[in-house]
Structures are given as C-alpha cells and as structure tokens.
Structure 1
Amino acid sequence: MRWVTYDGGDGPRAGLLEDETVRGLPAGTTLLSLLGDDGERLAAAADTARRDPAEVRAVGEVRLLAPIPRPPSVRDGLSFLDHLRGCYRALGRAPELHPAWSQAPAFYFGNPAAVVGPHDDVAIAPGSRMFDLELEVGAVVGRAGRDLHPDTAADHIAGFTFFNDWTARDHQMRDMAQGIGMGKAKDMAITLGPALVTVDELAPHLGPDGYAFEVAATVNGREIAKGSLAGMDWTWGEQLAYMSRGTDLVPGDVIGSGTVPGGCLLEHVDTADPAAYGGWLQPGDVVSLSSDALGATRQVVRPAPPMTPLRTGH
C-alpha cells in the first residue's frame, strides 16, 4: 500500500495512491489515526478506499503533504558509517572513527514543526552560506513499544518514506563547537514523502542485508548519489531497540536512516576550505530524491529570510 496525505481544496486527508490517482478517505481522516496496531486498520482503510472512496482525484490535481505532517517525534540516526567517513575525508580529517560509533547507534531529535511536503519549496536557513541536502529514508512507527528487542523491534515499523534533513553546514560547525548536539543546523526543514509505503509493499526488496531498493539524489538534474539501504551498519531493529530503551516509541514517530553514503554535498567538497566550495545549494536549485520503491520528491530552494542579529556583531 502507498498512503499519502493530500489537500484537494478542503483540507488535509489520507488517501490511497494507485495508478496515479488518489482514492481519498472521508475529509479529516489522518494517516496517524490509522496507525497503532499491526496494520489491520490500514488494510481495512485500503479496502474502503478501493471499494467506496470518498473521492477519486488525479495525483496531479492535489497537493501532496508529508504523509505524517506533524509526527509526535522525529529522530534521525546515523546508520551508514561510511557517510561519516566521507564527511571526515572531505574536511581533511582522518577517516578513523571513535569506538563510540560502533557501541550504539547515534541519533538526534529533529523538529516535528519543521516537516514539509515532498514538493514544497525550502528556504535556505537564515544566515547560512553552506546549505545542504541529505539523502535518507524514514521509518514510520506503526505500533507503540518500549524496551524493544533488536530481533523484533522492526516489526513495529508501518512503512517507509523519503527523509531529507536539510542542513546548514556552517551552523552545524557552531553547533558542534558548542558540544550539546544539533541545533539550528537542522532546524529549518525536514522533507517527508511523497508516500508512506507499507512494509508489505516493500517485502520483495528485503534481503539478508536489509532493504535493497535503490535511492538517488539529484540537484538540477545532476545525480550526486545513488545507493540502497542494504548493508546499514546499524539495522532498523537495532536502532528502534536502542531508541526505545527506557522510553516509548509511539505511532507516527519518524526515524531517519541517516545519509546514504555520498548523499550530501559535504561529502563532495573538493577544497580545503568548505566555505569556498562552489557546490552548496543556491536559490533556484531543484533538489529531488527518487526511487522506484518510494516515488520521488521535487523541491525548489528559495532565498533565506532576513536574519535579525541577536547582538551587535552576532
């Protein structure tokens, strides 16, 4: 099943995406309200959408929103350690990683209020001159859990969608210097969409090394990265088990895979001074994430809004 949240002119509602049409559920029905079990509600809703839809619209006639427009929480992992090694190399650092990276799956909390849809414009972060994209996949929690076991934790995933945690790299350098985690570097936009593709739909792509469907990122039509989720250093089960230690994962929570190796501009920096790199995103650039399994996003980068200094010289 491929579920979308869309607005056809009378407010957001959930719909089943089939053959370039959206088979809508009654107005006000949300995907979040269909989660919370092992998928029975989603399956029953799909049967209703096929048999007796509230409306049928061509996908090009409606605005696609993020599948979960305001998740209860957003966590972004780093399950591809080669992405981190690639960033280190681009910055002139040795690619050897601290042992902590192999002791637990790293993650940070994102901003649910920053979630945007798959075709929404994205403004550069105020004050940033090093704006970047990140090619990731997001897992949507379908069933609540706490202190999950790594062998079964992935059973709590309802499905997957694209996840682009746009990043202001210059702000990130300041965040890292302050040492308390991600702040304004990751605060402006997180793209989810175009659809929530359920785990049963993706089952043919699941192998011993994880999901093997390809994902790609382009800027102005030029491919910057292609890869798959196969061979993640931390599996989805391990990530959900770790994230649920001593706390609840709830339906609708979104968990990012971390960047597919090569899937950000930082990994392509070719100068000793990252600020001098000529490839950072600029107003008018078109960024797309695509996959035969997940669909495609397409977003235009817009100028940064004005930034009011906090103090003189800041």
Structure 2
Amino acid sequence: MVKIARWNYDGGTQSGFVDGGSCYALPTGQGVQTLLDAGLEETLGLARQTIGSGLAVPLADVQLLAPLLPATIRDFVAFEEHVEGVRKSIDGVAGVVPEWYEAPTFYFTNPHTVTGTGKVIGIPAGCEDLDFETEVAAVVGRVPGSDGRNLTAAEAHRHIFGYTVLNDWSARDLQRREMKVSLGPCKGKDFASTLGPWIVTADEFEDLHDAEGFLPVSMAVEVNGETIGQDLLSNMGWPFAELVAYASQDSVVRPGDVLGSGTCGSGCLAELWGRNGSKTPLPLKTGDVVRMTVGGIGSIENTVGERREAVTRVPARPRPRSRVAAAVTSGV
C-alpha cells in the first residue's frame, strides 16, 4: 500500500511515503504537490525507488501533518440520509428537496485552515453547537494529455490520484443563521478542516469498486471512545468519478484539488439532532476527542480546544429607500 504524507521531524517539514512503521522522505525541494503534478504512475515508481533506498525515520517519531496543502476544496453533499437528517435539524423541515436528486451539489471551503491529525481544533467565536462531519476526500492528480476540463466519468476516474479522510468541522448555530440568507455556509465552516492521516493512492482501491463505481468501505466516528455513527462509502448518491466529472463541467479540476464526499449517514451530530428532535448527543465541548476511521485509509483524531471569545457579528445599519441622489453643489 502506497501512503503519501507530510510530517514534522527534527525541526523541519518533510514529505514522502509511509511504509509499515517508517517514513521515507522525498529529496529536498520535492513535496506532495510534486507527486500530484507528476501523476499516479510516476509516483508509484518513485515510491518504490524511495522506499527501496532504506533511508527512513520511525513513524512514531514524527508529527503527521495534513497530507497536502489543497489548491481548492469542493465539498459535496452526496449522502441522502445525511441530507434528510440535517435538513430537519437546520431548517426544521422533513424530507430531501427534489433538486438534490437532479445533480451533485457542493460548496467551496477554505484551503488555508486545513490541519492534520493530532491537532487541537478551537471552538470559533460565537459557536455553541460545534459539530464534526465524517467524510472521505478524493485528491486530484495529473493525467497526461488532459487539461481537467469537461471530463467524462471514465476520464475523471483516472484523475483521482488517491483518497484521504476528511473532517469538515461545522459551527451549526452560525451555519443556521447564514443559510437563511440563501448563499451557503461561510463562518459556520471555514474555520477548520482536517485531512489525513495520509493519501492512499487510488490503485489500492481499484479492485474494490462495484459495477457502478462505488467503494464499499467502512466509515465510522467516535467521540471520547464512544461510537456515534457508521456507514459505507458506497451509500453515496454518486460515485466519486461522477463527482469529479461534474466539478469539471464548464470548469476545471487541477492537481491538488480536493473533493469531499459529504458526510456519511449518522456521521455528524446535527443529523442525529434532526432525527432525535433534541440535541442528543450533546454538541462538542472543550476536551472532547473526535476520531474518524475509514477502511483502507486509516484514522484521524483531534481534540476540541478552547472557544475564542470575540465580537463575531456587527448588525447592518438601516439604509434609506430613496433611489434619487441628493443634489450636490460645488460652491463654484
């Protein structure tokens, strides 16, 4: 299994491959983006060469970082069960809107607040309902001869370089207010995302795809050691290849782009709040430990930190309704 990672070791940041209990660094000046730009086939060859060199440090001695610094992050809502439960929690309305079935929907989130496993995630200012979202993300790599535009599903499948675990942290109370403006989430989402613990290259999953292109791998989330939810990645409404293809329509996907699956069924608290009719389980609090595990990839774990205290919202000032400009005199 080829696993690509970034880590801190001996005062510096390195990128390379994890094999067994050892980390094998790429040469100085090369990083994960180098591999994504090279494409999957070249990367597999470089992995064999690098691991074969025998120059390694123990995995136990490094601090894993987010496995890449994404160019963009598109996060889909591809699990019907999740959409149904969260809609009840956020909007107080049962069911799934018909538009969800017509085409995949995603939003862009902040690539600059991505962090890795083991990091403390602070509670954003003004948030009382901190939540997690259990997801898998596909990472885009280069395909020779393709510019990443208007891809078919078959072409998009080749652009999937690998997969990683994604936690799309969510401030649900901020999100509820923002969604009423009908533009999408902003401060309810952009404060943190966790990717990790590494990227597992797509070839490792090739034989697992079913006839429709779905991956029946397990997804689970725990809080303080207690299982909160579990699902199969194959319960998505669309396979990843179709999500990548859709993202590329009249647009482009490039090496370093990350596309999230959206939250799996029972993979967040808000979905359970919608189904239970109350905030049970309780929102996350300082000191809680959230652990997500995906079959064939691994686990990420983060501890919830302190809440940042600050003014987070400034009301708009009332504006006059006049459409006629006041007369201006120059004094000349």
TM-score (norm 1): 0.92
Task: Give me the whole-angstrom Cα distance separating, in 2, the residues matched to 1:137 and 1:24.
Answer: 25
Q: Does the CA contact (< 8 Å) of 2:126 and 2:312 recur in 1?
A: no
Bigger Rg, which one: 2
Runs of 5+ consecutive residues of structure 2 not aligned to the other structure: 318-332
Task: Give me the whole-angstrom Cα distance separating, in 2, the residues matched to 1:92 and 1:253.
Answer: 31
Dislocated runs of 4+, deviation >3 Å: 88-95, 270-274, 309-314
- Give 1:309 deviation, angstroms: 4.8
Q: Does 1:2 align with 2:3?
A: yes
**Please, which of 157, 163, 167 is the counterpart of residue 164 of structure 1?**
167
Task: Give me the whole-angstrom Cα distance separating, in 2, the residues matched to 1:310 and 1:161.
Answer: 34
What are the superposed Cα offsets for residues 81-137 of structure 1, whole Å, 9 maximum, x if unpaired? 111112234568453322211111000001000100111111111110000000000
Q: Mark the CA change 1:304 to 1:154 in structure 2 (over 3 Å): closer, same or farther.
A: same
Q: Does 1:128 align with 2:131?
A: no
Task: Give me the whole-angstrom Cα distance separating, in 1, the residues matched to 2:5 and 2:312.
Answer: 39
- Structure 1 segment 220-235 matched on structure 2, within 5 A: 220-235=224-239
Q: Does the CA contact (< 8 Å) of 2:18 and 2:24 recur in 1?
A: yes
Task: Give me the whole-angstrom Cα distance separating, in 2, the residues matched to 1:61 and 1:187.
Answer: 31
Identity %: 33
Q: Does the CA contact (< 8 Å) of 1:80 and 1:232 recur in 2?
A: yes
Task: Give me the whole-angstrom Cα distance separating, in 1, the residues matched to 2:203 and 2:125.
Answer: 41
SS in 1 for 2:24: strand
Q: Does 1:63 align with 2:66?
A: no
**Please, which of 273, 293, 299 is the counterpart of residue 290 of structure 1?**
293
What are the superposed Cα offsets for residues 207-234 of structure 1, whole Å, 9 maximum, x if unpaired? 2351111121000000111112113112
Task: Give me the whole-angstrom Cα distance separating, in 2, the residues matched to 1:174 and 1:94.
Answer: 16
- Give 1:138 deviation, angstroms: 0.5
- Give 1:67 deviation, angstroms: 0.8
Name the residue aligned to 2:254: 250
- Give 1:308 deviation, angstroms: 2.8
Name the residue aligned to 1:305: 308
Equivalent AA in structure 1 for residue 111 of structure 2: P
Q: Does the CA contact (< 8 Å) of 2:87 and 2:96 recur in 1?
A: no
Task: Give me the whole-angstrom Cα distance separating, in 2, the residues matched to 1:230 and 1:292.
Answer: 12
Name the residue aligned to 1:95: 94
SS in 1 for 2:154: coil
Name the residue aligned to 1:45: 46
What are the superposed Cα offsets for residues 269-305 of structure 1, whole Å, 9 maximum, x if unpaired? 276565xx56100000000011341111111100112
SS in 2 for 1:145: coil
Task: Give me the whole-angstrom Cα distance separating, in 2, the residues matched to 1:103 and 1:310.
Answer: 35
Name the residue aligned to 1:16: 17
Q: Does the CA contact (< 8 Å) of 2:291 and 2:299 recur in 1?
A: yes
Q: Does 1:154 align with 2:121?
A: no
Name the residue aligned to 2:199: 196
Name the residue aligned to 2:330: none
- Give 1:203 deviation, angstroms: 2.4
Q: Mark the CA change 1:116 to 1:239 in structure 2 (over 3 Å): closer, same or farther.
A: same
SS in 2 for 1:186: coil
Name the residue aligned to 1:78: 77
Q: Mark the CA change 1:75 to 1:92 in structure 2 (over 3 Å): closer, same or farther.
A: closer
Q: Mark the CA change 1:273 to 1:82 in structure 2 (over 3 Å): closer, same or farther.
A: closer
